[in-house]
């Protein structure tokens, strides 16, 4: 048997054919050519992954940079773009878990508004410390998620019906907390600082270098362990190339955000906004949960085939309830980030297009609406696409109706790509 070929009866997919998230532990052909051929075959088979989102970021970036070269790529605008993307991205991260089961949470956006209203009222009316208000908001999100998940997983009501009803109901709760036409200001410097203050430049560079070094160490250590045990492993050039790309992106963004972007010489606006490391931390933690824990394997299994997962001994009800808890908890964090950016909470917080943008971000990034396929990074990539569209159209001064039409068209295109990719995968047996 060739040293580059592994014969095994263990599938890298969960029941129902859903990716388990552990595909990197096994390679049928670990030569460079074999990996390239395998990737091309997956694309031909309909498994596009994050490719559409990456291409979207590149194409949209080039387009808006060409149309508004004097403003789009400036450090100030890039910072604004990243901060704008934070609430939608965090909300989309939670929705990835729900979408992996083929479910939907139409109430996630307004849940973020309820949690933000709880936090704002505790800060403004009760004079609570910021950490008490934030903890209360997060607990509120988790309890709402437990309630929603119980209705779906335990009682068996379709998630579309449950969350549509709660979409309306939670807006009433927010209205009751804040009052008709009211606005609760958020003035706590710590909360406001999440979206409006920056890390010291030196600390930003230290964290960026730490991220790169830790990532490189993990990748190289995994490669070393695989080879020392005689397991299949990727070619060194692939691993090194991945490290170089991550390092280039991380250090490049850090360098850009370290430039003083203030319009006045009397103000210093250099450094990475605190909201950016928050998203990175959530990305790393949630990626680990989905990709390297038994809970993550069970989520993929239930999303791929719930009945097969049940027969395999997986507690499907617990998984269903858990994903709604995760989604609503992250919705609460999203609401906190949005309140930080805007400096206030209104009865309409989290309503409107918030949910649609978050679902669109997850789907654009590569998460399937039909369940069983997706990763947390999809929310980050899709969130950047949505933010780039909104930011670029704003710089172009596009009228509001065109903004809605263009954004809606992009979301429809993403859903179409998902449906066509799934049909292609079914036709080719992937």
**DSSP string of 329-343?**
HHHHHHHHHHHHHHS
| Residue the block writes with tokens 């990727």 | 234
Ordered per-residue pLDDT tens for the chain, 430 residues: 444 433 333 344 444 444 444 444 444 455 666 667 766 766 666 666 677 788 888 888 899 999 888 888 888 899 999 999 999 999 999 999 999 998 999 999 999 999 999 999 999 888 889 999 999 999 999 999 999 999 999 999 999 999 999 999 999 998 888 877 688 888 889 999 998 889 999 999 999 999 999 999 988 988 888 888 888 777 888 888 889 999 999 999 999 999 888 777 667 788 899 999 999 999 999 999 998 899 999 999 999 888 999 999 999 999 999 999 999 999 999 999 999 998 888 888 888 788 888 988 888 888 888 888 889 998 999 999 888 988 888 888 888 778 778 878 877 877 777 677 667 666 665 5
CA–CA distance, 110 with 164 (Å, rounded to integer): 11
3 state DSSP class of 179: coil
Is the CATH code 1.20.1280 the one for domain 28-197+273-428? Answer: no
Tokens at residue 105, please?
């949470």
CA–CA distance, 154 with 277 (Å, rounded to integer): 36
CA–CA distance, 352 with 354 (Å, rounded to integer): 6
**Would you say 365 and 53 are in contact if contact means Cβ atoms under 8 Å apart?**
yes
Which of 194, 245, 200 is CA-nearest to residue 82? 194
**Would you say 152 and 159 are in contact if contact means Cβ atoms under 8 Å apart?**
yes
**Would you say 9 and 284 are in contact if contact means Cβ atoms under 8 Å apart?**
no
**Would you say 91 and 359 are in contact if contact means Cβ atoms under 8 Å apart?**
no
Number of other residues whose CB lies within 10 A of the CB of residue 266: 6
CA–CA distance, 79 with 272 (Å, rounded to integer): 8
CA atoms within 13 A on the CB side of 68: 18
Residue 303: Cβ-neighbour burial (10 angstroms; 0-12, 13-18, 19+): buried
CA–CA distance, 107 with 166 (Å, rounded to integer): 6
């Amino acid at each position: 048997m060739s040293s580059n070929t592994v014969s095994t009866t263990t599938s890298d997919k969960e029941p129902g054919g859903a990716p388990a998230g552990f595909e990197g532990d096994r390679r049928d052909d670990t030569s460079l050519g074999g990996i390239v051929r395998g990737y091309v075959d997956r694309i031909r088979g309909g498994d596009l992954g994050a490719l559409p989102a990456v291409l979207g970021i590149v194409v949209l970036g080039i387009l808006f940079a060409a149309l508004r070269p004097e403003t789009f790529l400036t450090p100030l605008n890039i910072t604004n773009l990243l901060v704008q993307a934070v609430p939608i991205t965090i909300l989309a991260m939670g929705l990835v878990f729900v979408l992996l089961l083929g479910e939907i949470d139409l109430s996630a956006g307004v849940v973020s508004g309820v949690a933000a209203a709880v936090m704002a009222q505790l800060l403004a009316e009760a004079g609570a410390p910021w950490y008490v208000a934030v903890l209360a908001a997060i607990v509120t999100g988790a309890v709402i998620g437990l309630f929603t998940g119980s209705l779906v997983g335990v009682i068996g009501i379709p998630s579309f019906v449950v969350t549509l009803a709660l979409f309306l109901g939670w807006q009433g709760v927010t209205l009751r907390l804040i009052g008709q036409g009211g606005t609760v200001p958020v003035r706590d410097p710590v909360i406001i600082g999440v979206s409006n203050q920056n890390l010291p430049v030196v600390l930003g560079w230290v964290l960026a270098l730490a991220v790169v070094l830790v990532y490189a160490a993990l990748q190289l250590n995994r490669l070393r362990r695989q080879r020392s045990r005689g397991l299949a492993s990727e070619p060194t050039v692939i691993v090194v190339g991945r490290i170089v790309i991550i390092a280039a992106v991380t250090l490049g963004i850090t360098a850009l955000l370290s430039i003083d972007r203030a319009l006045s010489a009397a103000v210093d606006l250099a450094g990475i906004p605190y909201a950016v490391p928050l998203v990175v931390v959530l990305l790393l933690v949630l990626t680990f949960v989905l990709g390297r824990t038994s809970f993550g394997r069970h989520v993929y299994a239930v999303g791929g085939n719930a009945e097969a997962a049940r027969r395999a001994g997986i507690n499907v009800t617990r998984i269903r309830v858990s994903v709604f808890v995760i989604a609503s908890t992250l919705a609460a964090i999203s609401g906190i980030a949005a309140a930080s950016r805007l400096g206030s909470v209104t009865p309409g917080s989290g309503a409107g297009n918030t949910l649609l943008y978050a679902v669109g971000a997850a789907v654009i990034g590569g998460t399937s609406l039909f369940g069983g396929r997706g990763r947390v990074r999809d929310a980050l990539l899709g969130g950047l696409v949505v933010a780039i569209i909104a930011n670029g159209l704003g710089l172009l001064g596009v009228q509001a109706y065109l903004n809605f039409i263009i954004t809606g068209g992009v979301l429809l295109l993403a859903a179409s790509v998902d449906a066509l990719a799934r049909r292609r995968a079914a036709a080719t047996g992937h």
